[in-house]
Amino acid sequence: MTVPTLMQNYQRQSYVTQLHKVYNEFSQALMQYQTDKNAVNLKEAGLSNQAGFDSFIKSYFKIVNDCGTDLEPCFVSAGEYKKLSGKAIDGWAYKGTRQHVVLASGVSIGYSYRPFGGVLYELYVDINGQKGPNIVGRDLFPMYIYNNGLIDEANLKDSTAPMSEDERDKEFDEDCNGSGTWNGCFGKILNDNWQMTY
């Protein structure tokens, strides 16, 4: 292998390692939250609106910067984020309602209550904050929290998680690697056993 190829592989694995760490931290915090509330799902535990998640994230994570509904300086400006193809993303949905914070680990989190099917919240995770490359599928990933406490892609056809591998692959092909939204990259990493194969 050439040195540039080795460097690319190393960088991709470092992105996945950080993403996996964030995924584990949120999964464990959600499980602990349900346990602390003696609840069978997140709605029963009280995560059923924006204020509920505000309280959850501030109780279970160390916040070093709270930008409220402002994207910056927790994230770079929306116009700086691109898709894998190099095309600028269309911006951030739910402007004015999504909250933005930076965790002590340096990870930037954007979150909003977005109930549909079994999904309760969407998370936008920039694993290295303001640092580049600011590309969806490299250091920025949309993720969705379901009522059952699982974190997965946005399953618009079903109310449960986890999604099937075929559903995740289709979303990757149409969105992350295609011309659609910016979903699908996280699901592809889940399908490929926490490897960035694209």
**Interval 102-160: pLDDT, tens:** 999 999 999 999 898 889 999 999 999 999 999 999 999 999 999 999 999 987 666 67
pTM above 0.85, yes or no: yes
pLDDT digits (tens, 9 = 90+) for 61-80: 999 999 999 999 999 988 89
pLDDT surpasses 60 at 94: no
36, amino acid identity: D
- Domain positions in the chain are 3-191
Arithmetic mean of pLDDT, 147-176: 87
Q: What is the pLDDT of residue 193?
A: 96
pLDDT surpasses 70 at 91: no
Cα separation, 77 vs 15, in Å, equals: 20
pLDDT digits (tens, 9 = 90+) for 36-58: 999 999 999 999 999 999 999 99
Helix (H, G, I), strand (E, B) or coil at 68: strand
- Cβ-count burial of 29 within 10 angstroms (0-12 exposed, 13-18 middle, 19+ buried)? middle
Arithmetic mean of pLDDT, 16-30: 98
Helix pair angle (3-36, 50-60), 10° resolution? 110
Which residues fall within 8 angstroms of residue 165, CB to CB, at 6 or more apart? 191
For residues 37, 42, 46, 51, the Cα torsion angle rounded to the nearest 10 degrees is 130
Residue 48 host element (H or E): none
Which residues fall within 8 angstroms of residue 131, CB to CB, at 6 or more apart? 139
pLDDT surpasses 70 at 182: yes
